Amino acid sequence: MAYGHGKVILFGEHSVVHGRPALARAVSQGVEVRGKPSPASVTTLHIDPWKVDLDTGAAANRGHEALQRALKIARAFYPKAPFELTLRADVRLPGGAGMGSSAAIGVAVLRAMDEAYGEVRPDEDIFKRSLEWEKVFHGNPSGVDNAMATYGGMALYVRGQPLAPLAPSPPIRLLAAYSGPSPSTERMVSSVREQFEADPQGVGRLFDEIRDIVHTGKSALEAGDHATLGSCMDANHERLIKLKLSTDKLNQMVAAARAAGALGAKLTGGGGGGCMIALVKGQEEHAAVKAALAPFGPVYDV
Ligand code: PMV
């Protein structure tokens, strides 16, 4: 099946762009793409739930230029393709919400193309190709989104290094809640870069603090110490506030989740809007946190 996983970042968004580690987990939602040979002279991509239709034709698809550019990049990986494709994407993730929808679509499109053209490719190549797809959307992506979209599971990611899978026992239970649209991840990444250029020492220190939080969080996860894991999420959120990545609404949601019994909560992904995540323990806390977050927007079991 041509599938790409969505993801949430537990620790380390943004600092991962600057060479620090991030800890991420694929979510149960993702993207499935089906490809069929088409008699047309262009490959088309239909993103069903978003009512988006685009193709690799010369004319720009108004409003979806980035997706069209990415589709052309994907199609160009098959210079000897004997026919064009009709691709249909079923996206079961909120778009532009910090859950890695663009990377998941990219991975699923590339896998659907392989399937349709009868090619067998290692995941490592899907990861590399999907990074080219991601560059269209994020400019300077660290690769964490498309690594998670490709491999799934839970892992520690450092730019330029192979993904280091983690299998925590007991498993953790997370809720994600959507605060509303965010400026593009590319804009948020540029804003952090500008802050870093203006104050390399201060912002570099924040990145290092986040790196330490990632390592403490990883050890807590491996030890099954979910209380420490939760405090690490809180500590990471504080650093993301300092990097001007949070919003009043995200902060209210984080506070509401904690007040309702979450062990920890933070924004996830690019920030400036999008999603936050909360770590919940038992069934009761899960229901209470879900109810506390519901008035703010859609809540997802991830
Ligand atoms: O795509 P998003 O919004 O989940 O953000 C990806 C994570 C960042 O660290 C903000 C960017 C990157 O390339 O790692």
The secondary structure of residue 95, as a DSSP letter, is T
Q: Average pLDDT for residues 185-198, to the nearest whole number?
A: 95
* pTM for the model: 0.95
The finding on whether 98 has its CB within 6 A of some atom of ligand 1 is: yes
Pocket test for ligand 1, best of 13, 15, 214 (most atoms within 8 A of CB): 13
Strands 84-91 and 44-47: parallel
In the reported structure, the alpha carbon of residue 125 is separated from the centroid of ligand 1 by a whole-number distance in angstroms of 21
Q: What is the pLDDT of residues 34-70, one digit of tens each?
A: 999 999 999 999 998 888 999 998 777 778 899 999 9
Give tens-digit pLDDT for 151-184.
Answer: 999 999 999 999 999 988 888 999 999 999 988 8
Instruction: Kindly report the average pLDDT of the chain as a whole number.
Output: 95
Q: Each residue of 200-216: pLDDT tens digit?
A: 999 999 999 999 999 99
Ligand 1 pocket, mutate which of 23, 134, 145 (most atoms under 8 A from CB)? 145
Exposure on the CB side of residue 23, measured as CA atoms within 13 A: 22
* Angle (nearest 5°) at CA 242 between 238 and 248: 75
Distance 40 CA to ligand 1 centre (A): 35
Using a pLDDT cut of 90, give the percent of the chain over it. 88
Listed in sequence order, the DSSP H helices in the chain are 65-76, 101-117, 123-138, 144-151, 185-198, 200-223, 226-242, 248-259, 283-293
Ligand 1 geometric centre to CA of 100 (Å): 8
Q: How far is the CA of 83 from the centre of ligand 1 (A)?
A: 34
* Rg over CA atoms, the chain: 19
